[in-house]
Amino acid sequence: MSIRQTEFGTLPDGRKVDLFSFESDKGVKLAVINYGGIVQSLTTPDRDGRPGEIVLGFDALDGYVAKPNCYGALIGRVANRIAGGRFTLEGLDYQLNVDGAGHSLHGGAEGFNRKLWDADIDGERLRLDYVSNDGEEHYPGTLAASVWYSLVGNDLKIDYEAKTDQTTIVNLTNHSFFNLNCCARDILAHEARLQAERYTPVDASLIPTGEIAPVAGTPMDFRKAKPIGRDLEDVPGGYDHNFVFSRINPGLEDWLAEIYDPDSGRVLKMATTEPCAQFYGGNFLDGSDIGHGGVVHKKHFGVCLEAQRHPDAINHPNFDSIVLDPGETYSQTTIYRFEAR
């Protein structure tokens, strides 16, 4: 399979952004831009073989620059939230840039989703590289990150690596919003199944309390497939929670999450080496963004499955560590499989 490279647009400072297009022998089409490492387009067939766009995004670069809502983007240095943007590492206190809620979110105001990554077609993979300098967004250490996108058959595979010259923290992910009915309606009728017996409860500002709680008997129980909207009234603010998988999956042999759209028959499966995933139901989409082909991004018009380590882990000793030391390599792999039935 060859990867086609074309120009996608120009940033305000004059730098060029390229688009890299993939097409598999199963009719799956993928487009990635090196601004933010964004999955700009993802087209898959429904149960009748008809192709359709299943990710939220924009047809032009201006949308991503003007509306930095992380659509399809690579997230770093640290995905999700850090309470108050504060943490202590090796006896030193750090204060990160914070959002309007007073917390660090998805790497800060100038996170990896707003960086122009170096791009190289590496055989049948797209390799993206970005060096985050010491002090960027007030994180310690110079972090060299690499991400590879590949498309084989029905599988989109994302491999991540990072190395540092100073002890730091890192937790990378991809923030694609999926809508398997191609935005004909919201995702509340999509059926979700998560192999997660526990989740991390959050406070009113979506910061983990530190508890790792059972899903049994709560609206967070997706161990058996159910419509995303079934218990939504019992989840204040909607789903935006970290689920802890019931098993570690280093060999990627288990599909730890699955989303199914009964209307189109499309199925999304996820396997990951990470211990957790953020399950987000598009609660903050408000109709102000106009996406592919004029689609309005209304509330609940996308669902995210963000493979990650525990959010705010640096402030909770009982969570999996996100500390990276010199000489170590951070790595994770996530596979999204697209089927129809």
The tens place of each residue's pLDDT in the chain, 341 residues long, gives 789 999 999 999 999 999 999 999 999 999 999 999 999 999 999 999 999 999 999 999 999 999 768 999 999 999 999 999 999 999 999 999 999 999 999 999 999 999 999 999 989 999 999 999 999 999 999 999 999 999 999 999 999 999 999 999 999 999 999 999 999 999 999 999 999 999 999 999 999 999 999 999 999 999 999 999 999 999 999 999 999 999 888 888 899 999 999 999 999 999 999 999 999 999 999 999 999 999 999 999 999 999 999 999 999 999 999 999 999 999 999 999 999 99
Residue 142 per-residue DSSP state: -
Contact 276, 257 (CB under 8 A): no
Question: Given the DSSP bridges, would you call strands 125-132 and 118-122 parallel, antiparallel or unpaired?
Answer: antiparallel
* Whole-number pLDDT of residue 248: 85
Separation between Cα atoms, residue 324 and residue 328, nearest integer Å: 7
Tell me the two tokens of residue 132.
Answer: 């985050």
137 is catalytic: no
What residue numbers bound the domain in which 239 lies?
4-340
- The owner of tokens 């990470």 is 274
Question: Given the DSSP bridges, would you call strands 155-164 and 257-260 parallel, antiparallel or unpaired?
Answer: unpaired
CATH number for the domain spanning 124: value is 2.70.98.10
Catalytic residue among 106, 274, 306, 310: 306
Question: Given the DSSP bridges, would you call strands 240-245 and 276-280 parallel, antiparallel or unpaired?
Answer: antiparallel
- The owner of tokens 């288990």 is 254
Residues 6+ apart with CB under 8 A from 197: 214, 215, 216, 223, 244, 246
Which string of DSSP letters, residue by residue, matches 237-295?
T--EEEEEESS--TT--S--EEEE-TTT-EEEEEEESSSEEEEE--TT--S--B-GGG-
The SS3 call for residue 146 is strand
User: Considering just the CA atoms, what is the radius of gyration of the chain in Å?
Assistant: 19
* Whole-number pLDDT of residue 282: 97
- Alpha helix (H) residue ranges in the chain: 61-66
The SS3 call for residue 85 is helix
Between the two ends of the chain, the Cα-to-Cα distance in Å is 26
Catalytic residue among 175, 241, 297, 310: 175
CA 50 to each of CA 161, 178, 185, 305, 325: distance values in angstroms, whole numbers, following the listed order: 36, 17, 17, 24, 48
Tell me the two tokens of residue 288.
Answer: 């102000």
Cis, peptide link before residue 77, omega less than 30° from 0: yes
Statement: the pTM of the whole predicted model exceeds 0.75 = yes
* Whole-number pLDDT of residue 68: 66
Total number of domains in the chain: 1
306 is catalytic: yes
Question: Given the DSSP bridges, would you call strands 155-164 and 4-10 parallel, antiparallel or unpaired?
Answer: unpaired
Contact 151, 28 (CB under 8 A): yes
Residues 6+ apart with CB under 8 A from 232: 188, 219, 238, 239, 281
Q: Extract the runs of DSSP E, i.e. beta strands, from 135-232.
A: 143-152, 155-164, 168-169, 173-174, 191-194, 196-200, 213-214, 226-227
Contact 202, 316 (CB under 8 A): no
Tally of CA atoms within 13 A in the half-sphere of 244 that contains its CB: 18
Comparing CA positions, the residue from 303, 340, 106 lying closest to residue 186 is 303
Comparing CA positions, the residue from 282, 291, 295 lying closest to residue 228 is 282
Amino acid sitting at position 58: F
* Whole-number pLDDT of residue 47: 98
